[in-house]
Amino acid sequence: MTQINLDVLGMTQEELQERVVERIAEKAFGNYSEEHEGRHHCTLEAAVTAQAQKMVDRAVEELGKNHIIPNVLARLEKMTFQATNEWGERVGKGVTFTQYMAQRAESYLAEAVTSDGKRPDNYNRAAQTRIAWLLEQHFSKSIESALSGAAKIMRESLAQGISEAVKVRLEEMSRTLKVTTTV
């Protein structure tokens, strides 16, 4: 019996180890890879990357929910805004962020606007407040939507009624007509 050793095969131990590792990697990842646009992509690698990304996203979301958002909200509640004069000296009473936002929203909604919802200028005069204009727009769109829906239903119903009436009339006419043939 002949013994085979690395010298007979013409390899070193390092070359054999490298070939074995390559073969194991090919077996492990070979079934999970595909070629796309001339490049070799490992779908197993993509799956691991996607799973890792999901885990990181969940951790970041949890960190934000448990630590960042509560801290930001606490700071916003404590934050105060102070009006100043032209020299930067504080004037009047400071307001919290929530109060400031409420005041800004109130002034925005109470602002006078033109009939198309824009600020008045030299050519267009104010016609109403922004809240009135917004409500008018909402109501007109709601009414328009409801009327177009009702018109569609009415057209369908009317078309069906006319179709049925024509069928009934044709049946009546066909019963009263007598066809005679002469040869």
> Across 93-180, where does the E strand assignment appear?
95-96, 112-113, 128-129
85: CB partners within 8 A, 6+ apart: 91
Residue 2 has pLDDT above 90, yes or no: no
User: Strand 39-42 relative to strand 33-36: parallel, antiparallel, unpaired?
Assistant: antiparallel
The set of residues, in sequence order, having a beta carbon less than 8 Å from that of 84 and lying 6+ positions away, is 90, 91
Neighbours of 84 (CB within 10 A): 10
- Provide the pLDDT for residue 172: 86
Vertex 28 angle, CA 39 and 18, to 5°: 85
Digit-coded pLDDT (tens) for 122-154: 888 888 899 999 999 999 999 999 999 999 999
Q: What is the mean pLDDT of residues 38-59?
A: 79
Instruction: Report pLDDT digits (tens) over 75-93.
Output: 888 888 888 888 988 888 8
Kindly give, in sequence order, each residue whose CB lies less than 8 Å from that of residue 136, ignoring residues fewer than 6 positions away.
128
Percent of the chain past pLDDT 70, that is, above it, reads: 87
Phi, psi dihedrals of residue 37, rounded to the nearest 5°: 55, 40
Q: How far apart are the first and last CA of the chain?
A: 113
Q: Tell me what the mean pLDDT of segment 103-120 comes to.
A: 90
Residue 37 or residue 23, greater confidence: 23
The reply to whether the predicted model has a pTM over 0.75 is no
Statement: residue 33 has pLDDT above 70: no
pLDDT score at 57: 94
Which pLDDT does position 105 carry in this prediction?
Answer: 93
